Amino acid sequence: MKKVVVGLSGGVDSSAAAAILHNQGYEVVGLTLWLMKGKGQCCSEGMIDAAYICEQLGIPHQVVDIREVFQTNIVDYLVSGYSAGITPLPCSQCNKTVKFAPMVQYAREQLGCDRIATGHYAKISYNSASKRYELLRAVDRNKDQSYFLYDLSQDLLAASVFPLGDFQKADTRRIAAEYNLKTADKPESQDLCLVESNGSMRAFLDKYLAPKKGDIVDGDGKVLGQHDGVHHYTIGQRKGLGIAAAEPLYVIGLDAVNNKVIVGDRTLATESECTVQRVNWVSIAEPSTPIRAEVQIRYRSKPVPATIIPLEDYRVRLVFDEPQFSITPGQAAVWYEKEKVLGGGIIEQFS
């Protein structure tokens, strides 16, 4: 029998993924990664729900304590990024370094198995001509999580299965109900796990970063107001500046070195190009000449046409056909050809 390790967070998606594979005749092992202390979506309650699902399906359940890796790769990464004036995206980094790589390693070394599965909404296919695993958007475009998976290596894609890639979310719930799974009606998570477990990103950051008062200035350096730490701001932010002005003002720059938040009108938060670092070419090998693609600069942003110009050291320059509002250093830019993820990386700070 084919063996597969299914990552169980205690939510409906991963529960249904495990049930589907179990029903298809796989030997399924449930694995929950213990990510952080205290209450949280996948911690405490999540682990108990995952154990319950495994009992319902009659499969083994294992828990791996990975809190130190999560602390270093996600919590410390976020805190140092925000204090340097960028807005880091934790999810793609978490998928690669906290979830997929450790799960594949555990499956191979401890369970003698080369396959893992998750409840992510995305698809993987093998292109025999290019000999590459390709990452594709999910059929349910509203749930599609391919944006967060752009950083997976060929080795990790080769080892992974996404049983929900062809499903609508409503189908997942229906299947979970058919199997009578305890998690069938469990509510959706609404936000980042750290935001859910701390109440807000501000509350999470306040646990690690002391307030640091400074000036809010315009592009000419004129002081317009006060802030309590650059880590509380993000590029493109309009609300919460506490400045009365005739025209709406937006954050257009974060100068962590001089502890200044720079604001300006909307046009000043609009750029026609940016550079991206730590690029991972997913479905295609790195091209040697510029390519055209559709780029998403945020999870929910509309894909927009752009030219991707390869640079040295895993970097690219993105030149957008139309200028884009609020290109945010630290967030991921992910470029697609129709449904296919070509590559992605982290938006660099503007000089």
Ligand X SMILES: Nc1ncnc2c1ncn2[C@@H]1O[C@H](COP(=O)(O)OP(=O)(O)OP(=O)(O)O)[C@@H](O)[C@H]1O
Residues near ligand X (CB under 6 A) are 7-9, 11-14, 31-33, 35, 42, 99, 118-120, 189
Closest separation between CB of residue 220 and ligand X, Å? Answer: 44
Question: What six digits make up the tokens of 312?
Answer: 């040295």
- Active-site choice (42, 54, 91, 94): 94
Closest separation between CB of residue 50 and ligand X, Å? Answer: 8
Contact of 32 with 55, CB cutoff 8 Å: no
Of 165 and 229, nearer to ligand X (C-beta) is: 165
- 33 assigned binding-site residue: yes
First CA to last CA distance, the chain? 56
- 69 assigned binding-site residue: no
- 10 assigned binding-site residue: yes
Closest separation between CB of residue 95 and ligand X, Å? Answer: 7
Of 94 and 327, nearer to ligand X (C-beta) is: 94
- Active-site choice (43, 91, 193, 274): 193
Helix (H, G, I), strand (E, B) or coil at 171: helix
**CA 346, CA 329: separation in Å to the nearest integer?**
7
- 14 assigned binding-site residue: yes
Of 14 and 146, nearer to ligand X (C-beta) is: 14
| Residue whose token pair is 């690219």 | 316
Q: Which of 216, 231, 193 is nearest to 84 (CA)?
A: 231
Closest separation between CB of residue 32 and ligand X, Å? Answer: 5
**CA 79, CA 87: separation in Å to the nearest integer?**
10
Of 21 and 316, nearer to ligand X (C-beta) is: 21
- 199 assigned binding-site residue: no
Q: Which of 37, 105, 30 is nearest to 62 (CA)?
A: 30
Residue nearest to ligand X (CB): 11
Which H/E stretch holds residue 13? helix 12-23
Closest separation between CB of residue 281 and ligand X, Å? Answer: 23
Q: Which of 154, 179, 149, 143 is nearest to 16 (CA)?
A: 179
Contact of 134 with 165, CB cutoff 8 Å: no
Contact of 4 with 103, CB cutoff 8 Å: no
Angle between helices 45-57 and 12-23 (to 10 degrees): 20
- 114 assigned binding-site residue: no
Closest separation between CB of residue 177 and ligand X, Å? Answer: 14
The number of CA neighbours under 13 Å toward the Cβ of 159 is 23
- 12 assigned binding-site residue: yes
Of 50 and 256, nearer to ligand X (C-beta) is: 50
| Residue whose token pair is 């350096």 | 221
Of 107 and 216, nearer to ligand X (C-beta) is: 107
Contacts made by residues 153-159, CB under 8 angstroms, sequence distance 24+: 153/96, 153/280, 155/104, 156/96, 156/100, 156/101, 156/104, 157/124, 157/133, 157/282, 158/133, 159/104, 159/107, 159/114, 159/115, 159/116
Let me know if 94 is a catalytic residue.
yes
- 9 assigned binding-site residue: yes
Let me know if 42 is a catalytic residue.
no
Binding residue ranges: 7-14, 33, 119
Binding residue ranges for ATP: 7-14, 33, 119
Task: Show which residues are catalytic.
Answer: 94, 193
